[in-house]
Structure 1
Amino acid sequence: MESAEIARRFLRFFEERGHTIVPSASLVAEDPTLLLVNAGMVPFKPYFLGQKKPPYPRAASVQKVMRTLDIDEVGKTTRHASFFQMLGNFSFGDYFKEQALPFAWELLTRPEAEGGFGFPEDRLWVTVLHEDDESHDIWHNKIGVPAERIQRRGLADNYWHMGVPGPGGPCSEIYYDRGPEYGREGGPVADENRYLEVWNNVFMQFQLREVRTKVDFDVAGELPAKSVDTGMGLERMAAILQGVDNIYEIDTTYKILDRAAELTRSRYGRDGRADVSLRVIADHMRAGVMLVGDGVLPSNEGRGYVLRRMLRRAIRNLRLLGAGEERYLHELTATTIEAMGRQYPDLIADAAHLHTVIDAEESSFLGTLRTGTAIFDAAVEETKRKGEGTLRGAQAFQLHDTYGFPIDLTLEMAAEQGLRVDEDGFRRLMGEQRDRAKADSAAKKTGNADLSVLGDLLDRSGRVDFLGYDHTTAEATVVGLLVDGASVPAAGAGTTVEVVLDRTPFYAEGGGQLSDQGTVRTGGAHVEVVDVQSPFAGLVVHRGKVRDGEIRVGDQAQAEIDIERRRAISRSHTATHLVHRGFRNALGESAAQAGSENSPGRFRFDFTAAGAVSPSVLRDVEDEVNAILINDLKVHAFHTSLEEARSMGALALFGEKYGDEVRIVEVGDYSRELCGGTHVASSGQLGLVKVLGESSIGAGVRRVEALVGIDAFRFLARESVLVAQLSEALKTRREELPERVDGIVTRLRAAERELERLRSAQVLAVAGELAAAARDIGGISLVTHRAPDGTSPDDLRKLALDVRGRFPADHAAVVLVAGVPADRPVVVAAVNDAGRTRGLAAGRLVGVAARALGGGGGGKDDVAQGGGSRPESIGDALGAVEHAVREAAS
């Protein structure tokens, strides 16, 4: 059963029982105490704590989860993973133990054909807290679990709390017995490798006053409303239901692992060190893609650092497998999107963005690795030559500061060499660096200059007079020049330089508006300005290149902006204000701006919203804004006090800091915002606003992108040509195109379904012939068959069961069917009751076949499924199973 199907069945089961289905929240936690969502209940935490009233009495979700504490352990075992998914059902003062436990048991044990997971009841064990007689009674007397399969455990195992004062309570866990080949008998208390936890039911019924440790806390009393929080790991369930040994062999993870093995010409299962690397790559690629999909970008802080660390560990492990300088993350990103896309369609829609972010990180880090590894090797050699066992903190700091080596990577690589790292020394040097440096973003915007140089310049020369609201050119004096961050008296042709003038018409990037571009000319030099920044209030830095001549401090200059670029950006900025007002009118005042970018001819606008904005709302906002353009409202800007601006209801922009005096920009009576940007004189100058669409960029934040002016006209012209071409090709009037296309798609899908039905019927039609042609091996009827390529795993399974069912119940029969549904071979084994009495088990036989295919598999004794990576070895796999049956028959 594929992961997407497991999730679908879980949600459908609880939806049928009155639960509101809540989509997974973003991995970026809204909880300020969390870096990332680390448990399925996190989005519901305010309800459990009583901070918010739940909008529904019961809910169910499949929540994306990221845990970063075990990153260093990922790959070393088959148990640790960073990204996983939690299936959970929740009650907020609605139902409690008497309903929660039967819900769990019913879903687990209901046959697959009836929408359940088909667990044999005799393979399930449960645990309860020692004194939780109520749960024990429900399990034994209401559900019918034998007393010998109900085990009582202590607080360490069967009690939940948040580690701080708040709700807490006992929990009851359900375990699956994987069989004697996985460990000793005796239930979960004896062996949690053999008895695998599949579901945890937490009963929040007490208010905890003091929490000292996991097992040491004070109970203040019972909660006024008892609640339920359950969790079931999707990956662990998939491993069991897919008949594989661990989470790295399930559908969504093994595809990535297998592709990494293919790219690096490795074989999973043959070499322990290679297996660790392949597991690291598979886990970290899945985690990395999901993080980027939720809006996280690689950086050196917070969530961005988690993402960067994972992607870089994946890259390094690819190199350990022999990837060399090859860039493989693009391929692995595509495989990850394919693997996870059924559950998260946004990944498919955002594929281009995912590729861009991850490709850029790979390109950057490969350069870092080349240089940093050489320096690291030299440091290791020096340390060992001196007979020391610890890399000095200064060496680790140099790797980090000069060559971009993350300290975690240095620690990991040092451990592989049997060395330690002076972490205290490293962190002391990092602290000293932070004390010397200012904000990273400001440093980047000024060519990584020492900001103290700019601060001194501002102190000497005073504030720069910005003239850009009223002028596009200005006479000025050059008061400062910087080259590579250092102050210089002059700069010659070909030099990248930063120019500070005493007055300027250039707008510095800020408030979402891109900077102006243009030229600065002196009597002896021409500087092309490509970027303008304001690292400090009152200081404007023009960054560009000296095209000819020499510019000197003290020169008189003529500063002139690119007026067409300014006009295009100003149109975009004014359009952003109008769209902001339009969404507030449509969605309410909660649709607050959360970011923007105003570029020439286009803009993007981010705003808070509980969910996706419907196409009809987008159309209404677009129509409303364009009506404002037709009315040609005057755009007016003025300064006032912050207090007065607030009393007027002016909207403040995301991320902006305001002084006592602020600038307000009004578009007629329609829009009023605090804004320092440049704008058009009247709304009619925008010409046209065309909204391209909207998307999610994180938890509760949506992004709209749109075109303005001539760019919008050009877009609509291209759209008109495209519609005309479609209309001609389909011989249909334009207004009838949607209906015509919908009809074609409907017929195509119906044809595909019919082809699938016919193909499935064709596969199953040979069941009688296969049973009749069975080979007798010592009284055991054996059928081995290779189905046509393209046969789905589900049809392979149906065929195996159909053939098995054609043998008498008292006659031992073994059926093995193999095929290649896509690019990987799949085998299904089925053994009837009589065959199992002869010692034959489907799980073991499918394991024999799967190993011959270069993969793995296993499962139940009656039917099991596995796979591999070598389609050309299917004949060997069938032969290996025949050999195993002959051995059993003898």
Structure 2
Amino acid sequence: MRTAEVKRRFLEHFKAAGHTIVTSADLPADDPNLLFVNAGMVPFKPYLLGQVTPPYRRAASVQKCIRTLDIDEVGKTTRHGTFFQMNGNFSFGDYFKEEAIKLAWSLSTTPVDQGGYGLDPERIWATVYHDDEEAYALWREVVGIPEQRLVRRGKSDNFWSMGVPGPCGPCSELFYDRGPAYGPPGGPEVDEDRYLEFWNLVFMQFERGEGVGKDDYPILGELPLRNIDTGMGLERMAALLQGVDNIYEIDETKPILTAAARLSGTIYGANKGDDVRLRVVADHVRTALMLIGDGVTPANEGRGYVLRRILRRAIRAMRLLGHTGPVLPELLPVARECMAPSYPQVAADFERISSYAYGEENAFDATLRQGNAVLDRELAKTGARLAGSTAFQLHDTYGFPIDLTVEVAAEHGLEVDVEGFRQLMSEQRERAKRDAQAKKSGHAETGVYRELLDGGGPTDWLAYQSLECDATVVAIVCDGGIAQTAHQGQIVGVVLDRTPFYAESGGQAGDAGSLSGPSFSGEVLDVQRPIKGLIVHQVKIVGGCLGVGSRVHAAVDSEWRVGARQAHSGTHVVHAALREVLGPAALQSGSYNRPGYLRLDFSWRGGLSAATRSEIEEVANLAIRRDLPVQARFMPLAEARALGALALFGETYDENVRVVEIGGAWSRELCGGTHVEHCAQIGSIAVTAESSVGAGQRRVEAVTGIEAFRYLARERDLLTRVAEQLNAPREELPDRVAGLVERMKAAERQAQQLRERLLEAEALSAAAAAQNIGEILVATARTDLDARSLAELVRSRLPERPGIVAVSSPSGFAVALNQAAQEVGLSAAALVRRALDGKGGGNARFAQGKAPADSTAALARITALVQSTAPDHRH
């Protein structure tokens, strides 16, 4: 039974049982605590937690999920996958244990020809929480599972909570006995490979208190409404129904694995290490397809970094399997064919998906080349151990994987300070986490804001209607907690019952302005929305004292808002201009704008020529000159999509959305930002930069309004000064500058030719002065030129007998051996380390290290080392 059919039967089963079928949410999580949806219940959390009234009493979904915490286990076990699909059915105060158990059992055991999965009921085991007598009795008496296949387990296995105070409850898991070929008998307590878990039924009926771990917390009492949250792993069920050993061999992954084996000349099943790598490739290529399909693009942080790591792990695994050619152009189309039956959009959007993936592979190949060059230089400088800071620099600056650094260092006989590397990585993550938390929530935990929202409701947001209003201080957040007052000099988070301030979102920076009262004045530095519905103002107390309950006057800086509106509308105009000039593939993937400035990231391969940049700028300014009208209106999401409104990949939207139109269909986007009423109010747009921000992704930067005028004035002044210095009319500047550049290049070529002649002369002199030490010819030299270049040049001048060249320069120390010297057992790496007191590195043919303090002594040491090992044939 194909995986798509397993999914279809699940949804049909629960639809027939009165469940509303809910489409899978995109993988990027609409949750400040998660990068990705990592469980089927995540989109339903507000309903399960009682924060939002659900629009239905019972629901079912097949949710796309990503888990990366156990990424290192991928391929090693039968059940760990980065991307997986969770079939789930949910009850919000409707049915409870008995119906949940019956529904799971009937779908699992109903014969295939009657719409079920046809699992043998005699091979299904069930576990229950140790004192959940109700569930035990239901399995025993209603379903009929014998006692020997009913297992009671403790809190760590069969009691669910979110890890924080809130809803919790016992759970019951279903396991299928795959037979003695997979492990010993005795049930899931003995072996969870033979007894494969395929369904978990959570009976959410209690409220838990503070605690740590999976089982150290108190149960505070019953919930007012009892909920059901179940999860059936789609890949695990497919593996059972398709009779394969693991989730990597089902129809949605095995073709990728088979293609990877063919490309690398590897036989799946012949070698355990190769099998793990092939599974990693199959899992990661499929995961990358689904992530890019949901709008994630490779980047150096956040979701984009996870995608980049997954892609590079797949490519690296193929390199280790011996395949040196392109990987993703061969494997990604196979993944598309595997997933299109369930997700047709990955086929429809494959051009965009593949452009990012293939671009990332090209970038990684360049990274490997660049990183290898840097690593070679570092290994030449170091002793027996590569510092963690060096490994971190290679990773952070060049994207060089730590496992590759370890492998290359080992080839040179060196270790890597992996613990030091991990410590630096941990410190970087903590800094990023603190910075992000401080910016978005004023150093407060999300839970603090959740309590404020639950207690006082959402902020009355007036940003579209007004620039000022009177308001009441609902809360003051300081040092991660709630405060009653704030005094002069403090910077605190302030929550008002109503506000005219725009909170940073949709790429638009938060407003600036002021709060004031009879005995208080404060400057609003930033405005954020840490959780949906609640707006927090970062306020510097300029004078007086602010207290909870105080009445204040909130006023947005009108000049700031004017500039912000110009920049945000300018972003839409530039986006439309890009698409008009480059075509619809130039789709926005991110943006940021503040008063007078905008930047826009978009999908595109290759840089833009100066002529193309000018054309984009001209199209944008023509729209401003035509004074196209700007209109914002709310409508259902389905209606907006039918109109062709563009949505930003990776963003989530409510069922009712705001559509901003500029010139009608010319620019129509989903947007919650503030905008001008007519394009002419933007003033003008000047494109200031265009650059790459990742594989297949470009960035345009521009200034608007008065900042555009100032930018053009500075450009005019700069041009005037250059013309004056060159004593040339402006129109002649390009030719004059081109002439100067050509003369400079000619001078560089002459200098290089001179260096090469000097190097050749020094090489001839050093080769002629070489000493005979027994059977070994030894040439030594000091130079102000490059030590490596001279050493290799002298080596090429030596006769065909064992020869050694040692060169010292201010830039380094190098030793080169010809083939004959290597054949008699000599090694350049060994000679360098002994000459430089254990420092330096390389191989038998060539080695180098830092310039010694005493070059004469170092060169003499090379000669002495050869004398001590060479036989004397002078007689």
Q: Distance in 2 between matches of 1:628 and 1:151?
A: 61
Aligned to 2:139, what secondary structure does the other structure show? helix
Q: Distance in 1 between matches of 2:613 and 2:10?
A: 59
> Is the aligned partner of 1:584 residue 2:634?
yes
Contact 2:636 2:655 survives alignment (8 Å): no
Change (3 A) 1:535 1:133: closer
Q: Distance in 1 between matches of 2:204 and 2:598?
A: 57
Describe the superposition over 1:704-742 as per-residue Cα deviations: whole angstroms up to 9, x where unpaired: xxxxxxxxxxxxxxxxxxxxxxxxxxxxxxxxxxxxxxx
Contact 2:74 2:82 survives alignment (8 Å): yes
Structure 2 counterparts to residues 368-767 of structure 1, below 5 A: 368-376=367-375, 379=378, 386-388=383-385, 391-406=386-401, 410=405, 419-421=416-418, 422-423=420-421, 426-427=424-425, 511-514=571-574, 566=617, 568-570=619-621, 581=632, 584=634, 609-610=653-654, 625=664, 664-666=676-678
Change (3 A) 1:434 1:107: closer
Structure 2 counterparts to residues 235-246 of structure 1, below 5 A: 235-246=235-246
Q: Distance in 2 between matches of 1:509 and 1:32?
A: 27
Give the percent of matched residue pairs that are identical in Structure 1 and Structure 2: 50
Q: Distance in 2 between matches of 1:183 and 1:368?
A: 44
Change (3 A) 1:374 1:331: same
Paired AA for residue 261 in structure 1: A
Change (3 A) 1:30 1:420: same
* Residue 356 (structure 2) aligns with: 357
Contact 1:595 1:655 survives alignment (8 Å): no
Change (3 A) 1:193 1:577: farther
Change (3 A) 1:143 1:576: farther
Q: Distance in 2 between matches of 1:90 and 1:62?
A: 12
How far the C-alpha of 1:120 sits from its partner, in A, is: 0.8
Aligned to 1:30, what secondary structure does the other structure show? coil
Paired AA for residue 288 in structure 1: A
How far the C-alpha of 1:434 sits from its partner, in A, is: 9.5
Describe the superposition over 1:481-530 as per-residue Cα deviations: whole angstroms up to 9, x where unpaired: xxxxxxxxxxxxxxxxxxxxxxxxx999962443999xxxxxxxxxxxxx
Contact 2:570 2:682 survives alignment (8 Å): no
Describe the superposition over 1:297-318 as per-residue Cα deviations: whole angstroms up to 9, x where unpaired: 1000100000000001111111
How far the C-alpha of 1:272 sits from its partner, in A, is: 2.0
Q: Distance in 2 between matches of 1:9 and 1:394?
A: 53
Paired AA for residue 423 in structure 1: F
* Residue 15 (structure 1) aligns with: 15
* Residue 165 (structure 1) aligns with: 165
How far the C-alpha of 1:664 sits from its partner, in A, is: 3.2
Contact 1:411 1:420 survives alignment (8 Å): no
Q: Distance in 2 between matches of 1:429 and 1:216?
A: 29
Contact 1:368 1:404 survives alignment (8 Å): yes
Paired AA for residue 266 in structure 1: T
Change (3 A) 1:133 1:540: closer
Contact 2:128 2:172 survives alignment (8 Å): yes
Aligned to 1:252, what secondary structure does the other structure show? coil
- What is the aligned-residue RMSD (CA, Å)? 4.6
Change (3 A) 1:55 1:303: same
* Residue 260 (structure 2) aligns with: 260
Paired AA for residue 619 in structure 2: A
Describe the superposition over 1:368-422 as per-residue Cα deviations: whole angstroms up to 9, x where unpaired: 1123135446656876xx444xx31331133135533255764787799874422
* Residue 285 (structure 2) aligns with: 285
Contact 2:573 2:667 survives alignment (8 Å): no
Q: Distance in 2 between matches of 1:71 and 1:223?
A: 35
Q: Distance in 1 between matches of 2:62 and 2:667?
A: 43
Contact 1:62 1:88 survives alignment (8 Å): yes
Paired AA for residue 676 in structure 2: I
How far the C-alpha of 1:67 sits from its partner, in A, is: 0.4
* Residue 321 (structure 1) aligns with: 321
Q: Distance in 2 between matches of 1:85 and 1:330?
A: 25
Q: Distance in 2 between matches of 1:201 and 1:674?
A: 58
TM-score normalised to structure 2 length: 0.54
Describe the superposition over 1:86-116 as per-residue Cα deviations: whole angstroms up to 9, x where unpaired: 0111101100001000111100000000000
Q: Distance in 2 between matches of 1:338 and 1:404?
A: 30
Change (3 A) 1:116 1:429: closer
Contact 2:629 2:662 survives alignment (8 Å): no
Change (3 A) 1:407 1:418: closer
Describe the superposition over 1:791-826 as per-residue Cα deviations: whole angstroms up to 9, x where unpaired: xxxxxxxxxxxxxxxxxxxxxxxxxxxxxxxxxxxx
Aligned to 2:209, what secondary structure does the other structure show? strand
Q: How many residues align?
A: 530
Contact 2:179 2:194 survives alignment (8 Å): yes
Paired AA for residue 68 in structure 2: T
Describe the superposition over 1:167-196 as per-residue Cα deviations: whole angstroms up to 9, x where unpaired: 000001111011112122211122212111
Aligned to 2:81, what secondary structure does the other structure show? coil
Contact 1:3 1:251 survives alignment (8 Å): yes
Q: Distance in 1 between matches of 2:69 and 2:320?
A: 23
Change (3 A) 1:394 1:21: same
Contact 1:126 1:174 survives alignment (8 Å): yes
How far the C-alpha of 1:567 sits from its partner, in A, is: 5.1
Change (3 A) 1:216 1:336: same
Aligned to 1:276, what secondary structure does the other structure show? helix
Describe the superposition over 1:818-872 as per-residue Cα deviations: whole angstroms up to 9, x where unpaired: xxxxxxxxxxxxxxxxxxxxxxxxxxxxxxxxxxxxxxxxxxxxxxxxxxxxxxx
Q: Distance in 1 between matches of 2:410 and 2:570?
A: 45
How far the C-alpha of 1:72 sits from its partner, in A, is: 2.0
Structure 2 counterparts to residues 109-124 of structure 1, below 5 A: 109-124=109-124
Q: Distance in 2 between matches of 1:563 and 1:625?
A: 24
Contact 1:596 1:606 survives alignment (8 Å): no
Q: Distance in 2 between matches of 1:516 and 1:142?
A: 62
Change (3 A) 1:378 1:514: same
Aligned to 1:152, what secondary structure does the other structure show? strand
Q: Where do 5+ consecutive residues of structure 1 fail to align?
A: 439-505, 518-532, 542-558, 598-603, 630-650, 657-662, 668-672, 680-890
Paired AA for residue 421 in structure 2: E
Contact 1:174 1:198 survives alignment (8 Å): yes
Q: Distance in 2 between matches of 1:402 and 1:261?
A: 32
Aligned to 2:283, what secondary structure does the other structure show? helix
Paired AA for residue 107 in structure 1: L
* Residue 186 (structure 2) aligns with: 186
Q: Distance in 2 between matches of 1:625 and 1:197?
A: 54
TM-score normalised to structure 1 length: 0.53
Describe the superposition over 1:458-481 as per-residue Cα deviations: whole angstroms up to 9, x where unpaired: xxxxxxxxxxxxxxxxxxxxxxxx
Paired AA for residue 254 in structure 1: K
Describe the superposition over 1:581-612 as per-residue Cα deviations: whole angstroms up to 9, x where unpaired: 3x636769999x99979xxxxxx999975579
Structure 2 counterparts to residues 95-114 of structure 1, below 5 A: 95-114=95-114
* Residue 310 (structure 2) aligns with: 310
* Residue 345 (structure 2) aligns with: 346
Paired AA for residue 584 in structure 1: F
Contact 1:595 1:654 survives alignment (8 Å): no
How far the C-alpha of 1:244 sits from its partner, in A, is: 0.5
Q: Distance in 1 between matches of 2:26 and 2:626?
A: 29
